Amino acid sequence: MRKISLLLFTLIFYSSVFASSDDGSDAVRAAVKRIMPNVSPDSVTPAPVPGLYEVIIGAKVLYISKDGKYLIEGDVFDLVKMKNLTETKRTRGRLKAVSNIEEDTMIVFSPEKVKHSITVFTDIDCGYCRKMHREMDDYMAEGIEIRYLAYPRSGINTPSYFKATGVWCADDRKQALTDAKNGGKVIKTKTGCKHPVKDHMAVAEVVGVTGTPTLVFEDGQVIPGYLPAKRLIKFLDSKGKR
């Protein structure tokens, strides 16, 4: 009888241990699948805040309770280190998304000596995108390489979209982009051309682009909007000194 009691105690003890060691990730993954059935998270790990799990999908960071009942979308700050932990994860996601794009699908303007390289989501019909492009010589003079990705804000199968596909299918993409941004004749997309515009737009969604131009720096930081060359080089140089 004593042996049986001891056996029962042992079974109950270990079952409680194993039950408590359940990290809750199954409930969290089930919650993600329920609200986003077509999405597979890049990672599901315990968050810095007890009781929450960190779910990373591209550059998007979500926090879900261990039981899968509650979702929090926002930033987590480490008040000891005074650091935005969520933004750090977003930055990694953006950088990964952009670094996965083959450079030969971009339109790249490079100075003789590259000091900094930035990736720019651009829309041919965007006023500030055109202003930035007209000042390309200024960026080149400061040693800033501009790597263009297409992001027609109006969406697929719109006039801006067809301008982008025409430019990216041109024999001389750089000249075609310059002409288009200067209001030149719209280039028709070549029949059978396999352009990367949709792929660029998909990456823009991961990065969180909502407007143009959007600048992505070498460390994954994103700044929306136009910056003149002098201000941009000061900002980039200051980042290198940190």
From the list 90, 130, 153, 169, the catalytic residue is 153
Name the catalytic one among 123, 125, 130, 169: 123
Token pair recorded at residue 103 = 């450079």
Contacts of 154 (CB under 8 A, 6+ apart): 125, 160, 161
Alpha-helical (H) ranges within 73-226 are 85-99, 127-134, 136-141, 159-168, 173-181, 197-207
Asked if 146 and 118 touch (Cβ cutoff 8 Å), the reply is: yes
CA 165 to centroid of chain Cα atoms: 22
CB 229 within 8 A of CB 120: no
* Given 90, 94, 125, 126, the catalytic residue: 126
Q: Can 169 be counted among the known catalytic residues? A: no
* Helix or strand holding residue 83 (H, E): strand 83-84
Crossing angle of helices 159-168 and 173-181, in 10° steps, is 150
Q: Using the Cα atoms of residue 106, residue 112, residue 118 and residue 124 in order, give the sign of their dihedral.
A: negative
Active site residue 126: yes
| Candidates 125, 129, 130, 169; catalytic one | 129
Q: Please state, in angstroms and rounded to a whole number, the distance separating the CA atoms of residues 74 and 90.
A: 11
Do 14 and 6 meet the contact criterion of CB atoms below 8 Å apart? no
Q: How many CA atoms lie within 13 A of 240 on its CB side?
A: 10
What is the set of active-site residues? 123, 126, 129, 153
